[in-house]
Structure 1
Amino acid sequence: MRRRLPAFSAAPSFRLSQRLVVPVVCVSVTFVAIVDGAITTVALPSIGRQFGLSTTELDGVVVVYPVCLAMAIPASAWLVERCGGKRVLLTALAGFLGSSLLCGAALGIGQLVAYRALQGLSAGVLFPASTALLFGTFTSAEQIRVSRYMIVPQQIAPAAAPVLGGLLVDDLSWRWVFYVNLPVGLPALLFGALFLADGRGSRPGRFDLPGLLLSAGGLSTVMFGVCEGPHRGWSSPAILTALASGAVLLTAAVAVELRTDQPALRLRLFADRLFRDTNVINLVGLIPVMGTLYLGPLFLQQAQGRTALESGLTTFPEAFGVLLTVQLSGALYARVGPRVIVGCGLTGVGAVLLLFAGCDTGTGLWTFRALMFLFGAAIGCFFIPTTVASLATVERADLPQATMLNTVVRQTGGALAPAVVTTALVLGTSPGAGAVPPLAAYQHSYLALAAIAAATAVFAFTLPDGPARAAARGAAGHATGTSGRPAPLRQRRGRVGS
């Protein structure tokens, strides 16, 4: 079969292996997008001072990003199938970088919110497209090894973002938290344009406009309610209306998609028990994982009175713990399976959260750093096994849809995490006690997250991981596609692994 040269390639001799090009581009894209999501909050006080706004008036800058991201996600799978991974990924990256430049040059809060909306729309396509491209390039067995390296930017980025943001805001200005995307993103865009294989896409069928509108409207409305609920109050009319209307839209979307031959959301993939259960674990398990990363800086800065830089340097050891255990979990994945690894990892998360609940105003920074390292070591057993196992029995043609659904689940879990933490802090604060919650509120929040982690760990130990282990060992059968991806395990779907 004749192979097509990548677009913009000067000559065949300059062609690089896609097994090198795809990870490089995906690492860069992931790093830029995650840093941008984590670094913006550091700049909010400075933005407020320049535009003469209070903290509550800056909510739009933060909330508009996940809302627009949720709107764009449902269209990402159709775009990848129709236009090919390269075109969609690079177009979304160009839009993300362009909107970053516009955010940095914004002259008012209205412009900044509008440009953040463009960033969110671009990121909503960027994440699923990069994941689909990555997992479409490597076999199931290779995905484990590749994920051990992909986890590096995913953990370094959120850990480094607060430190980097503080330095940029203090030494330059808040505008540089957006400009900083360009030095990494522009080389990735050029490299991808030159060396990514020019996939032409396929014929995904007619565009499912009703399903897209219902799912995008429902997801964005629910995301707004979840993000704003802790601040406005869960009983406020705006939040109740948003959550109720979002639930109605999503229910209608499910009804429409299950009756459509070529839906925007291929919900029938959830009939596969392994895909369904790993997504449940991702949804609920991300609440204690991301909630702890959100709660730690609040405890350090509000309860202990630490500076933002001290807080960033104290939570950073979490990344080292992750980098240690992802190598071990990747090496053990095919041998013991994701069920044991994920279950033990979430059990460890719950145990460390109980230790966090014992921290008080006198807890030293090095004690907190040690706990963050242990926490990172525990969650290092969570990310790779759930991601790889969720796609182990998915057919190649369904990869864009499966990765898009994974992204929906992860973004929802990520949005629920700060909502749960903030709600726990509010419930633990007496009326009239002031803006800063008491120490007991932080401790009770850690206990609530520990309970969620323990419940998710129990469910994880029921994961049907036999097909995942077989795919990782390459024992799923001898039939492979052109890239060597094992044939889908149709006969194993829904069965509990040994």
Structure 2
Amino acid sequence: MFTVSMFVRMLDMTIVTVALPAISRDYHVDTVSAGVVVVSYLLGLVIGIPAANWCGDRWGTKQVFVLGLVVFTLTSVACGVAQNLPQLMIFRLFQGLSGGLFGPVVMAMLVRTFPPEERIKASRVMTIPIAAAPLIGSVLGGFIADSLSWRWIFYINLPIGVAATLFALFFLDDDGVRARNPFDVLGFVYAAGGLTLLMYGLNKSVTEGWTSALVLGCVVGGVVLLGLLVFTELRAAHPLLDLRVFGNHIFRISSGIILMITAFNAAYNFVFPLLYQEVFGRSALRVGIDIGPAAIGAIAGAQVAVKMYHRLGPRRHLLVSLTASFVGLALMALIDVDTQRWLVWLIMLYTGAVSAIAYNAAQTTSFATLTPHQVGVASSLFSTATQTGAALGVSLLSTVLAGLGTTTDGGAPDLSTYQMGFVITSGLAIVALLLTLRVRDSEAAGTLESKPEKESVADANPAP
């Protein structure tokens, strides 16, 4: 059920993108204007995330999870029947808002349900929707938009949402964690406003560039509001987001690693389709098929991560997997129009696997030493790190491509610019590696399986 709910939440981040041309034709607007449908969903997510912890602690994680699913399902249907672009934008905003509420709650329930030494197994399960949703979203969205109607992209959430809601109502236990703290209105305004401006600015930088007054104004405004958030929350008696959790060393370092992993994953998923379509002239379907092995690799890698984590320990696990991720990203920079297709598949499969292995370890260590009360706010902050990392990765690479120029002086596509994009993406893996050097296995010892003590020689060979 957790997997299904996270799958539809992740699916709706990607499935709409390929249907934008169909939506723009239906509403008689250009594709750029229709892009507000994607942006409004992302903004809804970042508005909902800060309040998720308070809602879960106030009314219970089960109740908030069910409410989030119900609203998500209803707004999905509303998106399908929207009569114009403004209606669709508003419904998508509320759809993202509900997803922002139940996403961190799912994380908190998993962490509280599983003992520390079994959380790597829970992380393995959660990797499936995170890895599979983008691929399935691209292929499924294109098929539905071409064969049926783009409205069915939203209608398919109805049976899934109903089934997940019924399952949660009858089989999900409440974790019992409650807190009657007053709602921190000022903290919410700063958090939601700051994240909204920052995310909007980063997303608009892809099309507007960093010289745009709108982009600069949003990013600077977002940073200022987030700075006020830090100042306010560290002094509040009952903060909405207790930023003191960053005083926990392993959580702080692991969150930074997660931010870098999501950044380089989003970056190569942004550059690869552009390389294939703009330089190689491949179709969108060909792009989906050739990038697909990365999702398969991620699912497979998550299964390997469990034994690897317990055998190597968090620090060596991360060092090995992030080094391997750097190699995979660097290999992408060598892809050209003559590269054999099977070799491209192998590189994508390998990179998807090793990055998932790294992600699983970082996610597990993040919550290693947190108390049950801290888990709620940590889940919200963790979700914020993943959203910010993805936006940062895409924004960084779009800036690089725009700065270097994607065409030669003669107007032909410039392969070297895209290859440099992959090189810079691999640099994000190096940043994650540097952060890993500060990981201490002793801090995450509780997440490791206890090794059975060996029988003593006397027990094994009893005296006659």
> How high is the TM-score relative to the length of structure 1?
0.87
Q: Counterpart of 1:327?
A: 303
Aligned-pair CA distance for 1:335: 3.0
Shift of the 430–445 alpha-carbon distance from structure 1 to 2, 3 Å rule, reads closer
Shift of the 313–468 alpha-carbon distance from structure 1 to 2, 3 Å rule, reads same
Query: 245, 248, 254: which one pairs with 1:272?
Result: 248
Query: 75, 84, 87: which one pairs with 2:51?
Result: 75
Q: Counterpart of 2:98?
A: 122
Q: Counterpart of 2:457?
A: none
Unaligned ranges ≥5, structure 2: 452-464
* Cα distance in structure 1, aligned partners of 2:414 and 2:82: 37
Letter in 2 for 1:44: L
Q: Counterpart of 2:277?
A: 301
Contact 1:333/1:469 (CA < 8 Å) preserved in 2?
no
Greater shift, 320-329 or 128-137, is seen at 320-329
Q: Counterpart of 1:409?
A: 385
Q: Counterpart of 1:31?
A: 7
Contact 1:344/1:457 (CA < 8 Å) preserved in 2?
no
Aligned-pair CA distance for 1:432: 9.4
Aligned-pair CA distance for 1:433: 6.9
Aligned-pair CA distance for 1:467: 2.1
* Cα distance in structure 2, aligned partners of 1:329 and 1:431: 41
Asked whether 1:226 is paired with 2:202, we answer: yes
* Cα distance in structure 1, aligned partners of 2:375 and 2:187: 19
* Cα distance in structure 1, aligned partners of 2:174 and 2:413: 54
* Cα distance in structure 2, aligned partners of 1:366 and 1:303: 19
* Cα distance in structure 2, aligned partners of 1:93 and 1:295: 33
Q: Counterpart of 1:473?
A: 449
Equivalent residue runs for 1:118-197 within 5 Å: 118-197=94-173
* Cα distance in structure 1, aligned partners of 2:447 and 2:241: 25
Asked whether 1:448 is paired with 2:448, we answer: no
Contact 1:103/1:178 (CA < 8 Å) preserved in 2?
yes
Q: Counterpart of 1:462?
A: 438
1:248-268 deviations in whole A, cap 9, x for unaligned? 111111011000121011100
Equivalent residue runs for 1:411-426 within 5 Å: 411-426=387-402
The alignment partner of 1:381 has SS state of helix
Aligned-pair CA distance for 1:428: 2.3
Letter in 2 for 1:165: G
Shift of the 238–471 alpha-carbon distance from structure 1 to 2, 3 Å rule, reads same
Asked whether 1:263 is paired with 2:228, we answer: no
Shift of the 175–432 alpha-carbon distance from structure 1 to 2, 3 Å rule, reads farther
Aligned-pair CA distance for 1:435: 9.8
Q: Counterpart of 2:357?
A: 381
Query: 226, 242, 249: which one pairs with 2:225?
Result: 249
Shift of the 43–434 alpha-carbon distance from structure 1 to 2, 3 Å rule, reads farther
Shift of the 434–82 alpha-carbon distance from structure 1 to 2, 3 Å rule, reads farther
Contact 2:256/2:435 (CA < 8 Å) preserved in 1?
no
Unaligned ranges ≥5, structure 1: 1-24, 476-498
Contact 2:329/2:426 (CA < 8 Å) preserved in 1?
yes
Letter in 2 for 1:372: M
* Cα distance in structure 1, aligned partners of 2:445 and 2:280: 45
Equivalent residue runs for 1:324-363 within 5 Å: 324-363=300-339
Shift of the 447–93 alpha-carbon distance from structure 1 to 2, 3 Å rule, reads same
Greater shift, 84-93 or 349-358, is seen at 349-358
The alignment partner of 1:382 has SS state of helix
Query: 81, 84, 87: which one pairs with 2:63?
Result: 87
* Cα distance in structure 2, aligned partners of 1:135 and 1:435: 53
* Cα distance in structure 2, aligned partners of 1:293 and 1:77: 30
Letter in 2 for 1:267: L
1:292-350 deviations in whole A, cap 9, x for unaligned? 12222222222212222111111111122222222222112133222111222221121
* Cα distance in structure 2, aligned partners of 1:455 and 1:299: 24
Contact 1:36/1:181 (CA < 8 Å) preserved in 2?
no
Aligned-pair CA distance for 1:89: 0.5
* Cα distance in structure 2, aligned partners of 1:377 and 1:474: 26
1:266-297 deviations in whole A, cap 9, x for unaligned? 10011111000001111123211221122222
Q: What is the root-mean-square deviation of aligned Cα atoms in Å?
A: 1.9
* Cα distance in structure 1, aligned partners of 2:305 and 2:177: 34
Contact 1:227/1:415 (CA < 8 Å) preserved in 2?
yes
The alignment partner of 2:15 has SS state of helix
The alignment partner of 2:321 has SS state of helix
Equivalent residue runs for 1:280-291 within 5 Å: 280-291=256-267
Aligned-pair CA distance for 1:46: 1.1
Aligned sequence identity (%): 34
Aligned-pair CA distance for 1:430: 6.1
Q: Counterpart of 1:21?
A: none
Contact 1:428/1:440 (CA < 8 Å) preserved in 2?
no
Aligned-pair CA distance for 1:198: 4.0
* Cα distance in structure 1, aligned partners of 2:155 and 2:412: 32
Aligned-pair CA distance for 1:421: 1.9
